[in-house]
Every structure is written in C-alpha cells, then in structure tokens.
Amino acid sequence: MVTIILVVHILIAIALVVLVLVQQGKGADIGAAFGSGASQTVFGSRGAGSFLTHITAVLAAGFFITSLSLAYISGNRTDGKSVTAISAPAKSSDLPTLPSGMTPIAPPANAPAQPAAPSDVPIVPGK
C-alpha cells in the first residue's frame, strides 16, 4: 500500500512541477492584450490559464493528500525498530589488534587527564 501511494505521490510531484513551469506568468498578459499571439493558443486568450490553474489546484490537493497519507502510515508502523533500540555488543574479535612485537603506548604520567578550562581572568606576565 505504501509503495502505491509513494509512486502516485512522485508522479503527482513531477506533473505539478511540469504544469507550473508550463504556465505563463502574470506579466505575459500585457503582451496578449496587444495581440501578440493570443489567437494562436489552443484554448484561446483566457482558456489556457483557467484550465491549467484548475489542473494545478487538483494536483496540489492530490499531493497534499498523499503527503498526509504517507506521514500517517509511516507514523503508525510498528514492524520496524529504531536504530537506538538495537544493541549489538562488541566482540573481542572485532577489536583491532596490534602487530606482533608491538605494545600499546601509555600517555605520560604528568599529562593532565582533561585540558584546563579557559578562565575569565587574564594571565599577567611577571607576577
């Protein structure tokens, strides 16, 4: 069911993008008022805008409905587990090993365990 809704959602999204790109902007109406090709359109001077606007509104409503459906379905799924709920203990065979003859290096004894926190008081040299 999710796959079908997802495919329809993607097809609606592609159709919506194409329809928005095909439509002319509001600035193109001034050119049509002076006779620049308004008689050469398929739907007439006003028909294409109204037709494409209605189709765009229907596709936008379909996109909204499929988006809500996918969100509802994914929110109510109980078959999957969260990544944080799955715990896999580390095996000793998974830990890296040193080549033979090498020993791990320990930090120096006088090294601080944590770096000193910056202080708000400036250090005055010579005191």
Tens digit of each residue's pLDDT (9 = 90 or more) over 4-45: 999 999 999 999 999 999 887 766 555 555 555 544 555 555
Average pLDDT, the chain: 75
Tell me if 125 is assigned to some domain: no
Contact 23, 52 (CB under 8 A): yes
Name the packing angle between helices 2-22 and 44-75 (round to 10°).
Answer: 150
* Position 13 in a domain: yes
53 token code pair: 């606007």
Asked whether residue 119 is assigned to any structural domain, the reply reads: no
What is the distance between the alpha carbons of residues 83 and 87, in angstroms, rounded to a whole number? 8
Establish if 56 belongs to a structural domain. Answer: yes
Domain that holds residue 60: 2-26+41-75
Residue 122 lies in a domain: no
pLDDT per position as a tens digit, 32-41: 555 555 445 5
Q: How many structural domains comprise the chain?
A: 1
pTM: 0.48
| Domain contains 71 | yes
For residue 110, is it within any domain?
no
Domain assignment present for 32: no
In the predicted structure, residue 120 carries a pLDDT above the cut 90: no
